[in-house]
Amino acid sequence: MTALITGATSGIGKASAELFAKNSWNLIITGRRKDHLEAVAADLQKKYKIKTICLNFDVRNLKEVVKNIDSIKGEWKNIDLLLNNAGLASGLSTIQEGNIEDWEVMIDTNIKGLLYMTRYIAPMLIEKNKGHIINVASLAGKQVYPNGNVYCATKFAVDALSKAMRMDMIQHGIRVTNIAPGLVETEFSMVRFKGDAERAKKTYENIKALSAEDIAEIIYWAASRPAHVNINDIVITPTAQANAYIVNRNTK
Ligand code: NDP
Ligand code: 8X3
């Protein structure tokens, strides 16, 4: 089995790569940080004796997406699963004070990047009349929270696209799963707050957040159901998080 995982250089994507590798899947992994990507590949090849390809590109750049997907040749085109995971939040502020560059980064990565990847990988699945697309959305794609505006909108878009993909590809036997996690402690908040470690730390303060591995287990579980079973949508929160607004910060 072969999976293509976007954003495998850290967090949920990296933990998923490890779990798929542990279960003997060969991997095409992507990300912008070449050194991280190659280190992940080397580690997984060594530990699990699997085959890997590293594709080092930015999902926002359509030309790079096309060039990198075109570079997938021979047996590697036999992809079974696309994990659309690459994504980010950039900033946290009201609409009226919003930073337009941040908005563009989020829209281009979380919506357009996911669409570009899907547009070019889905035909490979359709050719075989089977395959699985797993989209990492968010709890932020189920509930809008104050100052989350554009990030939430991009994740609502992912939620909608998961539903749309399931309809559009049903005649080709393609499974589509939407994964919607709440607070997961990864590099996410460091990225959102542009390297402000103090602010990032506050997001997970006094709460036992989910780990990237928790989400990877759920992704792998969805991927490993029998072919006739499609897990449509999973919302996962830490036990200490009831929804996007209510968090019990006395649990660590
Ligand atoms: P991380 O920041 O740890 O990982 C994000 C990954 O996405 C990295 O591998 C990064 O790689 C990649 N990425 C970001 N931008 C691009 C780009 N333009 N081109 C290619 N790759 C890119 O965060 P998470 O693991 O938490 O995030 C993974 C997904 O989970 C995201 O879609 C996020 O929105 C979602 N999510 C996260 C939650 C959380 O609380 N952490 C909760 C719900 C959903 P590189 O920088 O090397 O390019
Ligand atoms: C990330 C979860 O609630 O921090 O998608 O926006 S949240």
Q: What is the pLDDT of residues 197-242, one digit of tens each?
A: 999 999 999 999 999 999 999 999 999 999 999 999 999 999 999 9
Q: Is a pLDDT exceeding 80 seen at residue 252?
A: no
| 249 domain-assigned | no
Which pLDDT does position 250 carry in this prediction?
Answer: 84
Which pLDDT does position 200 carry in this prediction?
Answer: 97
Q: Which residues pair with 54 in a beta bridge?
A: 29
Rg over CA atoms, the chain: 17
| 17 domain-assigned | yes
Pocket test for ligand 1, best of 4, 6, 12 (most atoms within 8 A of CB): 12
Q: Round the average pLDDT of the chain to a whole number and report it.
A: 98
Query: By the 8 A CB rule, do 158 and 213 touch?
Result: no
Which pLDDT does position 230 carry in this prediction?
Answer: 98
How many independent structural domains does the chain possess?
1
Which pLDDT does position 153 carry in this prediction?
Answer: 99
Pocket test for ligand 2, best of 138, 149, 202 (most atoms within 8 A of CB): 138
Question: What is the number of the ligand 2 atom nearest to the C-alpha of 203?
Answer: 4
Ligand 1 centroid distance, CA of 171 (Å): 31
Question: Could you give the 3-state DSSP secondary structure of residue 247?
Answer: strand
| 243 domain-assigned | no
| 170 domain-assigned | yes
180 lines ligand 1 (CB under 6 A): no
Question: Which ligand is the nearest neighbour of the Cα of 187?
Answer: 1
Q: Per residue in 142-153, pLDDT tens?
A: 999 999 999 999
Question: Could you give the 3-state DSSP secondary structure of residue 89?
Answer: coil
Residue with tokens 């591995």: 213
Which pLDDT does position 182 carry in this prediction?
Answer: 98
Counting Cα atoms < 13 Å in the Cβ hemisphere of 192 gives: 21
Q: Per residue in 78-100, pLDDT tens?
A: 999 999 999 999 999 999 999 99
Beta strands in the chain (DSSP E): 2-5, 26-31, 52-56, 81-84, 131-136, 174-181, 184-185, 210-211, 233-236
Which pLDDT does position 42 carry in this prediction?
Answer: 98
Indicate which residue's Cα is closest to atom 6 of ligand 2: 140
Mean pLDDT of all residues in 127-143: 98
Ligand 2 centroid distance, CA of 120 (Å): 28
Phi, psi of 203 (to 5 degrees): -55, -35
Query: By the 8 A CB rule, do 117 and 65 touch?
Result: yes
| 68 domain-assigned | yes
| 247 domain-assigned | no
Question: What is the number of the ligand 2 atom nearest to the C-alpha of 141?
Answer: 5
Which pLDDT does position 38 carry in this prediction?
Answer: 98
Q: Is a pLDDT exceeding 80 seen at residue 138?
A: yes
Q: Is a pLDDT exceeding 80 seen at residue 1?
A: yes
CATH number of the domain enclosing 67: 3.40.50.720
116, 151, 204, 220: the catalytic one is 151
**Alpha helices, DSSP H, located in 11-135:** 11-22, 34-48, 62-70, 100-106, 114-128
Which pLDDT does position 251 carry in this prediction?
Answer: 74
Q: Which two tokens stand for residue 178?
A: 């939407």
| 251 domain-assigned | no
How far apart are the C-alpha atoms of 59 and 116, rounded to whole Å?
8
Q: Per residue in 44-87, pLDDT tens?
A: 999 999 999 999 999 999 999 999 999 999 999 999 999 999 99
Query: By the 8 A CB rule, do 89 and 188 touch?
Result: yes
Which pLDDT does position 17 carry in this prediction?
Answer: 99
Which pLDDT does position 213 carry in this prediction?
Answer: 99
Active site residue 116: no
| 171 domain-assigned | yes
How far apart are the C-alpha atoms of 169 and 163, rounded to whole Å?
10
Domain of residue 123, residue span:
2-236
Which pLDDT does position 238 carry in this prediction?
Answer: 98
Ligand 1 centroid distance, CA of 9 (Å): 9
Indicate which residue's Cα is closest to atom 39 of ligand 1: 184
141 lines ligand 1 (CB under 6 A): no
Burial 169-196 (b: 16+ CB within 10 A, else e): beeeebbbbbbbbbbbbbebbbbbbeee
86 lines ligand 1 (CB under 6 A): yes
